[in-house]
Amino acid sequence: MFGIGMQELIIIAIIALLVVGPKKLPDLAKSLGKGFSEFKRAAEDVSEGVKNSLQADDLKKEAEDLKDSITEAKKEADDKEKSTDTNPETTSAPPQKPLDSSHS
C-alpha cells in the first residue's frame, strides 16, 4: 500500500495517537477512510471520462474517414459515368461491319 511497510504504518499510528488522542482516533480513521474512498471514486470517474472521450474521438475520426471514402467513391463513380457518356467508343452505336478484303 503506497510503498509503506508495516513498521512505517506502526510509527504513523503511534504519532497519530499522540497528536489526536485515543478518543478522536477512530473518528479520524473513519474520516480518512471516507476521504480515500471518495478520492478513489473521483479518480475512477475522471479515468472513465477520459476513456469515453478518447473513444468518442476515435469514433469521430472513423466517421470522418468513412465520409471521405464515400465522397471519394461517389466522385470516382461520377467521373466514370461522365467518361462513358463522352467517350464515343463506349456509347451504344451499332457495330461496324468488317471490311472484306477478299473481293478485291
- Number of neighbours of residue 91 by Cβ within 10 angstroms: 9
Separation of alpha carbons 95 and 101, rounded Å: 18
User: Cβ contacts of residue 103 below 8 Å, gap of 6+?
Assistant: none
Instruction: Using alpha carbons, list the distances in angstroms from residue 24 to 66, 88, 94.
Output: 63, 97, 104
pLDDT band at 88 (very low <50, low <70, confident <90, very high): low
End-to-end CA distance of the chain: 105
Instruction: Give the pLDDT confidence of 21-75 residue by residue, as tens digits.
Output: 889 888 988 998 999 999 999 999 999 999 999 999 999 999 999 999 999 999 9
Whole-prediction pTM value?
0.46
Please tell me the predicted confidence (pLDDT) of residue 20. Answer: 86
Of 40 and 101, which is predicted with more confidence? 40
